[in-house]
Structures are given as structure tokens and as C-alpha cells.
Amino acid sequence: MLVIKMCEGDGCKLKISCERFTSKASQWQSWFTKPPLKDEYTCEMYLNDKKETEIVEKELWDHYSELPNPAWYDYKNKELKK
């Protein structure tokens, strides 16, 4: 498994499709102290996880509050079990 530095995605509009936000963190995971954003739509450390289309189509993310809706957790748990 690839070890990457994770991101909490605070203020980031790209986080739902970024592997640094969507991946499962390990026990000894390293994290950015703050998201490495130039602005809310630009990040030099962005890693596309290619799942954004599915997430948006299934309406798993509330873009107004920037929080996942309850279905997001079910989706994420199924992904982790694969």
C-alpha cells in the first residue's frame, strides 16, 4: 500500500475526490498541519482518486455544508471492505 500524507480537507472544494482526504488513515499516519491550498480550488498536493463522479451521482456529499451526508459513511465503509 502506498503511504501518503493525509489531509483533513478544511476549506477545500476538491476533498471529495482527493485520495489524501478519502483514503483510510493508518495508526501511524502523517497529516498536513493545514491543507496545502493556494485557494479553495487549487492544491499542489491533490491526488485524484477518480471516484468523484460516482460520489456526486449518488449524492453522497452535501456541498452546501461541506459535510458528508449519512450515505457517505455507508459508501466509505463498503469501499474499505473491498
The C-alpha cell 503511504 sits at: 3
Domain around 33: 15-81
Q: Cα–Cα distance between 5 and 24 in angstroms, integer?
A: 11
The C-alpha cell 496545502 sits at: 36
Number of structural domains in the chain: 1
Q: Cα–Cα distance between 72 and 51 in angstroms, integer?
A: 12
Percent above pLDDT 90 for the chain = 4
Mean pLDDT of the chain: 76
* pTM score above 0.75: no
Q: Is 42 a member of any domain?
A: yes
Q: How many CA atoms does the CB half-sphere of 43 hold within 13 Å? A: 24
Q: Which residue has the higher pLDDT, 68 or 1?
A: 68
Q: Is 10 a member of any domain?
A: no
- Chain segment 9-45, per-residue pLDDT in tens: 888 888 888 888 888 888 888 999 988 998 878 888 8
Q: Is 5 a member of any domain?
A: no
Q: Is 49 a member of any domain?
A: yes
Q: Is 7 a member of any domain?
A: no
Rg (CA), the chain: 13
